[in-house]
Structure 1
Amino acid sequence: MQRRDFLKAAAATAAGASSLNATSLISDNLMSDTPAKMSASHFGAIKGLVKNGKFEGVLDASEIDFYPVSLTQGVVARTYDQTRIARPSVRKGYLEKGYQSDKSMRGKDEWVEISWEQAFKLVADELKRVNKEYGGSAIYGGSYGWYSVGSVNNPQTLLGRMLNIIGGYTTRTLNYSQHAISAITPHVAGSDEGNSLVTAWPVILKNTEVVVIWGADPINTNQIAWGVADHESYIYFRKLKEQMKKRGIKVITIDPVYNNTANYLNSEHIFVNPTTDVAMMMAICYEMMNAGVADEKFLKKYTSGSEQFIAYLKGESEDKVVKNAAWAAKICGVSETDIINLAKIFGSKRTMLMGGWGPQRAHHGEQFHWMMITLAAFIGQIGLPGGGYGFGYHYSDGGCPSPAAPNGSALALASGSATTSTAFPGLGAIGIVPSTEGEWKDRSNIAIPVSRILDCINNPGKEVDFNCKKITYPTIKMAYWAGGNPFHHAPDTNLMAKTFEKLDTFIVQDCFWTASARMADIVLPATTEQERDDITKSHTNKFIIAMHKIAEPYEQAKNDYQIYCGILKEFGDKEYMAFSEGKSEMDWIKQFYNASKKKGDDAKLGMPSFEEFWAKGYVEFKVPPHAHEYVTMAEYRKNPIINRLGTPSGKFEILSKKIAKAAYDDCKAHPTWMEPMEWLGDVEKTKKYPLN
């Protein structure tokens, strides 16, 4: 397989920058002092080369990475990057006056380096003070970020574990990438469709006639994973390109820009105005009805509320607007002809709708995926081989056949048994709740939506609507952020800086002087994934991977696990032992592997001993034959009575009575076109701000 065929478009810009920075480090790594050491990152597994005690280069871990990407070369450069945090540091004003210091000096004040002993005491004392004066809920510990793939040194989980032990905290729910999808799709399809299994690629290559990649750029985004990417998806995109020629599969990309995927596949591309996709999908549904190709039988048997939605499309409900192609063309910038043609194609060909996550990161973002499921219902091919929808093809090798997990998952059921010789035994990780007895066992912590942290800090005690419920914001006096960069995620950085001035204390634990670290009061330097031992798995469950320590910690950086242990020792032996359970990091690594091995032995997997695994660097798990034939919603289609969806009606809810009961102004009972706060159709704003 020619690697550059994929990466010349997808990764040249992003990875090129990293590779250039790493050039001086990898140019002379022809010889290494030790054998290459296996490790892993969000970019995939790697083999690290060490020369003269320094991490000098990366080799492709081709045994467990089907298509290594050049992003991994940046792992070397970041290890010794000038933005690494060398020592525990405290803002000068905070060191002198503590939480009573001038908060407006954040980002401007001098930094004073202190010892770890001072840092542990300083952090512990402030945690004790806030807990005593305001209660645990005044500490925000829902730190969101993409840092570690390890089972032991996951900074966010370990932070929650520590805070849960010492008195509780306020955490977050959902995430930026899937916030709207994860909130809306359980009401529509009975499960979080942003994280659900999607129809296997071999099924698509064999059965699908039309692939629609809508609001996604999988050639670009499959380079990374929340876990460890193994990049098998690139093999399937190559096969898709081949089948476009051999079998005549039609690929249509719909996106405001001509993206890398469209370029690689040379697909038909339709430009749509940003945030107007919902109107376009509604018009396709209308034109399908108008052409007599909408699947009325499917709508009647497998959905709830289609009659009311059809009335809305026909202009027979409150707004009296007919949602036809002419109407949508003025909104989305797609011609009437193209919309009508899409309706005819979708109604006559086996069609797979591949929706991305990007469109939900907008005003009324939940409408996109609700409407795409509705469009798939109008097409009527959900549960058929190669038809329906899927929201995971652009990410973490979604759609690639994977080993079954012995947990009753969809793939386990598809393989015919949860304990077959091809099952994946799972891999444990340190959890937020310790196994030791104590008040932390049954502690209930407040959770707020991840995107509402600023609203929460600015409006303590405010009651807000969220997901058909009411939640009340706690009073937040302190934030502890580990392995994340909120000043990068926030859409309004100036508002964030101003809002965080209301906090008594802001602590950041990270490897780098990020924007968030520079705006903190206390900064604790953490090691990178390549500076410590750990254990992980590929996102597809095909491999358990040893994460060997490749490089010595940068300056005085410590492992996240060590940092929390140091803080908790300031509280006492009870808290420290609850957190560590008396185990070292290697003890945890061995425990997680051996627990997997026990399950594997029960399933006759033939897993090696820990020592053999650690020496080799990985264990591979076979993919069951039936995983290649997995079809999303196939069981539901076969018998919707026995295999009900998790919605109140047991069907796809085009109209949700639960959402209707909530009586939201900005989210009606069924998919609805609502003008976004910012879009090209706003004439006045477009005149003032012509770039979109």
Structure 2
Amino acid sequence: MKNNDLFQASRRRFLLQLGGLTVAGMLGPSLLTPRSANAAEVQGAGVKEGILTGSHWGAIRATVVDGRFIEAKPFERDKYPSKMIAGLPDHVHGGARIRYPMVRVDWLRKRHQSDTTQRGDNRFVRVSWDEALDFFYQELERIQKTYGPSALLTASGWQSTGMFHNASGMLARAIALHGNSVGTGGDYSTGAAQVILPRVVGSMEVYEQQTSWPLVLKNSKTIVLWGSDLIKNQQANWWCPDHDVYEYYEQLKDKVARGEISVISVDPVITSTHDYLGRDKVKHIAVNPQADVPLQLALAHTLYTEKLYDKHFLENYCVGFEQFLPYLLGESDGQPKDARWAEKICGVDADTIRELARQMAGGRTQIIAGWCVQRMQHGEQWAWMIVVLASMLGQIGLPGGGFGFGWHYNGAGTPGRKGVILSGFSGSTTVAPVHNSTDFKGYSSTIPIARFIDAILEPGKKINWNGKTVTLPPLKMCVFAGTNPFHRHQQINRIIEGWRKLETVIAIDNQWTSTCRFADIVLPATTQFERNDLDQYGNHSNRGIIAMKQLVQPQFEARNDFDIFRDLCRRFNREEAFTEGLDEMGWLKRIWQEGSQQGKGRGVHLPAFDVFWNQQEYVEFEHPQMFVRHQAFREDPDLEPLGTPSGLIEIFSKTIADMQYDDCQGHPMWFEKIERSHGGPGSQRWPLHLQSVHPDFRLHSQLCESEALRKHYAVSGKEPVFINPQDASARGIRNGDIVRVFNARGQVLAGAVVSDLYSPGVARIHEGAWYDPDNGGETGALCKYGNPNVLTIDIGTSQLAQATSAHTTLVEIEKYTGKVDNVTAFSGPIKMVAQCEYVPAQKVTS
């Protein structure tokens, strides 16, 4: 199953939940909202204001002057707009835009026999669109005829919102019409949790709706934020966010201030959410990085030995507690997992651990678990133990109790509305491909996404993955659309080693990311602000539907993905199968009409498309409804079983035990990491734990190109590295210093921010910082800007999930005294060769 297929499967569950919410709550506004701020022609040449569109960061009203997008103002219905919308004009008009189809110089000369060590040296030749697409098609043909489907991998990602213009679906359909290819499973966000949780509670959990915030605020006495930073992470969502969830955060802050709810933050740092709720109001459990599982086990040990656990819940809703107990009590290995044992590893004293267990058992407790903690080696164990703790407390399925893994994503907890969920452009097709070979020559047709570099470097290697044996395929060609693996995959120098073994790399994007700089063929795509689309407004809330109006004409020679892949498919006589005979507006009308039909079955009336598009631009659904996660299971586990083999919560999983993995066994356990700070392996040489969490001012690597946003956070022109005052003083580092962050895997420059928000031994560089090597294409180069994935380790979490272990990373930091070169990551290729002797693409006819 491909990465996007996994998301779509979770999305289907999300849609089913929206259709099955119970306990009607707050009364919403009317279904159809009049257009209150139309895009208006302003006196003066070529000035337009108030043009409505959406984005991952929220809906905006845009100002366009003489064809240039100059300002983004919040949509009037967004009470809590993200500061990041200030960077959207730079996304369209910044210096990192890809202007023309480009081909790497040596690939143009020698094609697939080029010198691949030159990838990343920023030397490209401008070619025509016809020529670039001819190259694309010819390489697809060559790969299928020479190697077959086991040699081709495609990937896409978060590029933009919009139900029609999604690069993922368009890439998938176009490639599927030509031939088969290697699929991927899992993702980088929740890779470990999304594999272990279906085995434990029968659902992926991470992308699901959570208990409605009004019910949490009414019923919870204690909220435990375990590695979850709600305030920071809810700025950007998968669809266009309404940011309504921030209203509940305000209410939570008031309740915390009045002492009605106690909030505990388990995290090595004081998070944005902790700071927002009040440093003196939130109890901080400053756990050592990667030592969460010992803390969890000690909490479970205290609950059991002090008889604070819910025996009835364990007996009636769970299986396997008896198999887990000998390990917890030390009967199976001679080491009780008590608070005294845990404090030596996790850094939290035993009395605090026991006090925390008693507080959690003393009233209704909602555990809000984030995603960052499971992005470490053995991250499955942490997610499993969250469920075990919630099971022992016995509050799963009660309003304001139990656990949840999706609170910081997609406005989770905002009451959902029974409105329409628009379809989109599907990557699937019933038309047979031109090359219909299914012979993968003994190699696996699907691999874990986080192991694709392994496949390039070690083809034929056999690995375990969620109960299966995977034989890694010999990848020869990769196609990336709207994604940036250099900023989501770990250990960049290892990526570069793998890239040298690929014969052809094609990147379709709108910015000169490192993936594009290391590609052979680069195709310029439009941003979402250069095309028309439709989007959901609000994610879990399903607040409404918004028109995404084109703000400006496509810049330079950029084309939208639909036109790019339509033109590619024309080259192998599949244009009609790709487009289904529709253009952009034809697709938008079809998507709207399908939504109207869906609405009739729900008692929801949508206006005619032309009325919506030309007059209303936004419709809002009514009657937000309450929801309690796992309520149906609790009320009747026989009629509403979980999707596990037993239908119950599996504290012990026979399915996993039968896999006989030494790093993920039949019940949750503590496994030492390959490297860990605070006295763990490798800490004598590399004493600082490096966090690479979601950023404050961008979405992954998107908007890092925005100069307007970088002015708010860059330090001496570099990505900031946050460091504790004690660690900074020991190294002679002061605020604003340029420092070198390094380990055996690589080195980066960054700007020091000395802050007491971070515990001693903990440093942070936000993920998504653009890679900017001082010697492009060379392994071991110094990144001049500060990409943390130069430093992160590329190993699987375990044989079960094979997910990313980005947070298993140790580094050292020193004040930098060498020559400081200018950052060049945001200006496109350094060298654009105007002319080059090469053999042009053969003319291709339809």
User: Fold conserved (TM > 0.5)?
Assistant: yes
How far is the alpha carbon of 1:677 from its aligned partner? 1.4
Secondary structure of the equivalent of 2:497? helix
How far is the alpha carbon of 1:246 from its aligned partner? 4.0
Bigger Cα displacement from structure 2, 289-298 vs 83-92? 289-298
How far is the alpha carbon of 1:558 from its aligned partner? 0.5
How far is the alpha carbon of 1:151 from its aligned partner? 1.7
Matched to 1:255, the amino acid is: D
TM-score under structure 2 normalisation? 0.73
Secondary structure of the equivalent of 1:341? helix
Check the 8 A contact 2:176/2:433 in 1, yes or no: no
Instruction: Kindly report which structure 2 residues correspond to 1:639-658, keeping only aligned pairs within 5 A, or say none.
Output: 639-658=636-655
Measure the CA separation in 2 of the matches of 1:197 and 1:466.
27
Instruction: Kindly report which structure 2 residues correspond to 1:137-156, keeping only aligned pairs within 5 A, or say none.
Output: 137-141=150-154, 143-156=155-168
**Residue in 2 that maps onto 1:481:** 480
**Residue in 1 that maps onto 2:85:** 72
How far is the alpha carbon of 1:682 from its aligned partner? 4.3
TM-score under structure 1 normalisation? 0.89
Matched to 1:179, the amino acid is: G
Measure the CA separation in 2 of the matches of 1:427 and 1:138.
35
**Residue in 2 that maps onto 1:491:** 490
Secondary structure of the equivalent of 2:684? helix
Measure the CA separation in 2 of the matches of 1:345 and 1:402.
31
**Residue in 2 that maps onto 1:43:** 57
2:271 paired with 1:271: no
2:116 paired with 1:103: yes
**Residue in 1 that maps onto 2:303:** 288
Secondary structure of the equivalent of 1:536? strand
| Residues 395 and 492 of structure 1, relative CA distance in 2, 3 Å threshold | same
**Residue in 1 that maps onto 2:96:** 83
How far is the alpha carbon of 1:439 from its aligned partner? 7.5
Check the 8 A contact 1:542/1:623 in 2, yes or no: no
Secondary structure of the equivalent of 1:223? coil
Bigger Cα displacement from structure 2, 595-604 vs 38-47? 595-604
**Residue in 2 that maps onto 1:11:** none
- Unmatched 5+ stretches in structure 2: 1-41, 690-846
**Residue in 2 that maps onto 1:590:** 589
2:424 paired with 1:425: no
Measure the CA separation in 2 of the matches of 1:62 and 1:473.
51
2:560 paired with 1:565: no
Measure the CA separation in 1 of the matches of 2:254 and 2:435.
56
The structure 1 residue matched to 2:390, chosen from 358, 372, 376, is: 376
| Residues 30 and 296 of structure 1, relative CA distance in 2, 3 Å threshold | farther
How far is the alpha carbon of 1:251 from its aligned partner? 0.6
2:515 paired with 1:516: yes
The structure 2 residue matched to 1:259, chosen from 249, 271, 274, is: 271
**Residue in 1 that maps onto 2:661:** 664
| Residues 532 and 336 of structure 1, relative CA distance in 2, 3 Å threshold | same
**Residue in 2 that maps onto 1:248:** 260
**Residue in 2 that maps onto 1:222:** 234
| Residues 431 and 607 of structure 1, relative CA distance in 2, 3 Å threshold | same
Secondary structure of the equivalent of 1:453? helix
**Residue in 1 that maps onto 2:363:** 349
| Residues 42 and 109 of structure 1, relative CA distance in 2, 3 Å threshold | closer
Which whole-Å deviations, capped at 9, do the CAs of 1:289-328 have from their partners, x for residues lacking one?
12211111111111110011111110011x2210001011
Measure the CA separation in 2 of the matches of 1:331 and 1:205.
34
Measure the CA separation in 2 of the matches of 1:601 and 1:155.
30
Number of residue equivalences: 637
Secondary structure of the equivalent of 2:70? strand
| Residues 30 and 218 of structure 1, relative CA distance in 2, 3 Å threshold | farther
Measure the CA separation in 2 of the matches of 1:99 and 1:67.
50
Measure the CA separation in 1 of the matches of 2:49 and 2:608.
21
Check the 8 A contact 1:140/1:476 in 2, yes or no: yes
Check the 8 A contact 2:100/2:558 in 1, yes or no: yes
Check the 8 A contact 1:62/1:68 in 2, yes or no: no
Measure the CA separation in 1 of the matches of 2:680 and 2:294.
18
Measure the CA separation in 1 of the matches of 2:67 and 2:451.
45
Which whole-Å deviations, capped at 9, do the CAs of 1:525-549 have from their partners, x for residues lacking one?
0000101111111323222121111
**What is the aligned-residue RMSD (CA, Å)?**
1.8
Check the 8 A contact 1:434/1:441 in 2, yes or no: no
Measure the CA separation in 2 of the matches of 1:135 and 1:656.
38
**Residue in 1 that maps onto 2:726:** none
Moved over 6 A (4+): 29-32, 437-445
**Residue in 1 that maps onto 2:525:** 526
Measure the CA separation in 1 of the matches of 2:436 and 2:649.
37
Check the 8 A contact 2:675/2:681 in 1, yes or no: no
Check the 8 A contact 1:139/1:478 in 2, yes or no: yes
| Residues 254 and 30 of structure 1, relative CA distance in 2, 3 Å threshold | farther
Secondary structure of the equivalent of 1:37? strand
The structure 2 residue matched to 1:180, chosen from 189, 192, 195, is: 192
The structure 1 residue matched to 2:410, chosen from 367, 391, 396, is: 396
2:434 paired with 1:434: no
Check the 8 A contact 1:433/1:441 in 2, yes or no: no
How far is the alpha carbon of 1:442 from its aligned partner? 12
Is the helix fraction higher in 1 or 2?
Answer: 1
Instruction: Kindly report which structure 2 residues correspond to 1:608-647, keeping only aligned pairs within 5 A, or say none.
Output: 608-615=607-614, 616-624=616-624, 627-628=625-626, 630-647=627-644
Matched to 2:484, the amino acid is: N
Measure the CA separation in 2 of the matches of 1:388 and 1:452.
33
**Residue in 1 that maps onto 2:832:** none
Matched to 2:317, the amino acid is: Y
Matched to 1:610, the amino acid is: F
Measure the CA separation in 1 of the matches of 2:679 and 2:576.
59
Check the 8 A contact 1:212/1:251 in 2, yes or no: yes
2:124 paired with 1:127: no
**Residue in 2 that maps onto 1:328:** 342
Measure the CA separation in 1 of the matches of 2:436 and 2:533.
26
Bigger Cα displacement from structure 2, 249-258 vs 147-156? 147-156
| Residues 281 and 440 of structure 1, relative CA distance in 2, 3 Å threshold | farther
Check the 8 A contact 2:286/2:347 in 1, yes or no: yes
How far is the alpha carbon of 1:443 from its aligned partner? 7.8
Matched to 2:190, the amino acid is: Q
Measure the CA separation in 2 of the matches of 1:126 and 1:683.
48
Secondary structure of the equivalent of 1:48? strand
Measure the CA separation in 2 of the matches of 1:453 and 1:107.
19
2:335 paired with 1:340: no
| Identity score, percent | 38
| Residues 650 and 439 of structure 1, relative CA distance in 2, 3 Å threshold | farther
**Residue in 2 that maps onto 1:10:** none
Matched to 1:273, the amino acid is: N
Measure the CA separation in 2 of the matches of 1:171 and 1:91.
27
Which whole-Å deviations, capped at 9, do the CAs of 1:384-438 have from their partners, x for residues lacking one?
12110111111221111011xxxxxxxxxxxxxxxxxxx2222111111125577
Measure the CA separation in 1 of the matches of 2:472 and 2:681.
35
**Residue in 1 that maps onto 2:671:** 674
The structure 2 residue matched to 1:115, chosen from 108, 125, 128, is: 128
The structure 2 residue matched to 1:93, chosen from 71, 91, 106, is: 106
